[in-house]
Amino acid sequence: MWIVMNSKRLLAGASVALTGLGILLPTVGVLAGGSVGLVGGIIAGFGTVLGIALLAGGGWLAQSDIDGNHALRVAGWNLLGIVALGSVLVLVSLFPGAMLPMFVLAVIMGVSAVAHVLIGINDVRRIRVTELATEREKLAVLNRLTRHNLRNDTQVLLSLADLLEARTDDGELASLAERLQNKSADIAGIGKNLTQFQRAIDHEPSQDRHLDLGPLVDGAVDDAQSAHPDASFDVEVPADAAVRADEHLAVAVEHLLDNAARYDESNRPEVSVTARENGGSTDLSVGDDGPGIPDTERAIITGEQEITQLEHGSGLGLWVVKAITESYGGSLSIETPESGGTNVTLSIPTA
């Protein structure tokens, strides 16, 4: 399938590039001859630029990641421009006395070709936007169905685990019941993360948003401290720190704090929260001294590595954080200090 799509892109790119070459030959020949005067030289120079642009456009189209059928659509628009205007020029040439130099005809054809290539690219973008909207709608439906089934099945599993624990005196069975309860709680957490991920994708912040970081971080730390009483949270957020975000950012901060405390295997996890201005952005960092995020998961989250069936992240938490951050026009980065642990930084536009 990849070979077929790649071949289509190569064919489309070659078609556009050949158009550029056909325009370049007469215009460059005129420029080299230098016998058409100033006006003719300007026209030929303009045609040369158009030809080079089409050559470059053909190369870009052949090497792009555009769907092969969409690439052929762009080439089709290019062909339409050549045929349509070429037909007009042929009819004009049949009129007595209406003779235009070859390089002028090439320039006219070049203008039409470039215009139609741009129309084709815009047409493909419009189609792709429609396709993405359809795919997003399908994923939203799948998300709702998955959450619904997870919620129902989790309730059944928890009920069975409670029933098993209540009716057995066997220590081994009681242990299995406890493991079943814990695993059911993990599955319920997946459903919650799916809900938050969908909300993050659908989230559209207002343009005049302004959020003071201090109160938001303090609230998130209080919740994390209640959930993890053995953990120590060190907060250094300037009183005047503010970002172009809204209260939805609290979900991202809560995820980072919970992850930092939950996966630290020490008796007293140490978590730090800092904020500092960095150009036009504010970097909100959550650091811990835990085992760190696996390299594969870190690379996938940050976009350094593609998701495959064999290599993918184990959880949704960081994806929720990433989606929320990017909804504000920000970015997420993950660093592993030499001393160990993990630093996750959210760079969000400063208010």
**Which of 202, 226, 250 is at the close of a domain?**
202
CB 50 within 8 A of CB 113: yes
Distance between CA 302 and CA 293 in Å, rounded? 12
- The tens-digit pLDDT sequence of the chain (351 residues) is 546 568 888 999 999 999 999 898 888 888 877 676 788 888 888 889 999 999 999 999 888 888 888 889 999 999 998 888 888 888 877 777 767 788 888 888 889 999 999 999 999 999 988 888 887 777 777 767 777 777 777 788 888 778 877 777 777 777 887 788 777 777 777 777 677 777 766 667 666 678 888 899 899 899 889 888 888 888 888 888 888 888 888 888 988 888 888 877 777 888 888 989 888 888 999 888 877 776 666 666 766 655 554 444 456 778 888 888 888 888 888 887 777 778 889 999 888
Per the DSSP assignment, residues forming a β-bridge with 282 are 277, 348
Q: Give the pLDDT of residue 292.
A: 72
Distance between CA 61 and CA 9 in Å, rounded? 6
CB 27 within 8 A of CB 106: yes
User: Do 33 and 118 share a structural domain?
Assistant: yes
User: Do 221 and 188 share a structural domain?
Assistant: no
Report pLDDT digits (tens) over 61-90: 888 888 888 889 999 999 998 888 888 888
Are β-strands 281-288 and 242-243 bridged in parallel, bridged antiparallel, or unpaired? unpaired
What range does the domain containing 216 cover?
211-349
User: Do 227 and 154 share a structural domain?
Assistant: no
User: Do 72 and 170 share a structural domain?
Assistant: yes
User: Do 170 and 48 share a structural domain?
Assistant: yes
- Within the chain, strands assigned E span 211-212, 232-236, 242-243, 270-278, 281-288, 331-335, 342-349
CB 220 within 8 A of CB 186: no
Q: Give the pLDDT of residue 4.
A: 56
User: Do 299 and 194 share a structural domain?
Assistant: no
Q: How many domains does the chain have?
A: 2
Q: Give the pLDDT of residue 5.
A: 60
User: Do 192 and 157 share a structural domain?
Assistant: yes
Q: Classify residue 246 as left (phi > 0), alpha (psi -120 to 50) or beta.
A: beta
User: Do 330 and 219 share a structural domain?
Assistant: yes
Q: Give the pLDDT of residue 77.
A: 92
Structure token pair of residue 50: 């158009």
Is the C-alpha dihedral spanning 19, 20, 21, 25 positive or negative? positive
Structure token pair of residue 53: 């642009």
Structure token pair of residue 243: 């970002």
Q: Is residue 309 exposed (0-12), middle (13-18) or buried (19+ Cβ within 10 Å)?
A: exposed
**Which of 202, 234, 256 is at the close of a domain?**
202
Q: Which residue, 257, 186, 185, 189, is CA-closest to 228?
A: 257
Structure token pair of residue 105: 């005809």
Distance between CA 197 and CA 231 in Å, rounded? 27
User: Do 85 and 15 share a structural domain?
Assistant: yes
User: Do 215 and 197 share a structural domain?
Assistant: no
CATH number of the CATH domain containing 235: 3.30.565.10
Q: Give the pLDDT of residue 146.
A: 74
Q: Give the pLDDT of residue 280.
A: 86
**Which of 167, 202, 237 is at the close of a domain?**
202
Q: Give the pLDDT of residue 53.
A: 92
User: Do 315 and 181 share a structural domain?
Assistant: no
Are β-strands 270-278 and 232-236 bridged in parallel, bridged antiparallel, or unpaired? parallel
User: Do 44 and 125 share a structural domain?
Assistant: yes
| DSSP category for residue 277 | E
Structure token pair of residue 166: 């209540």
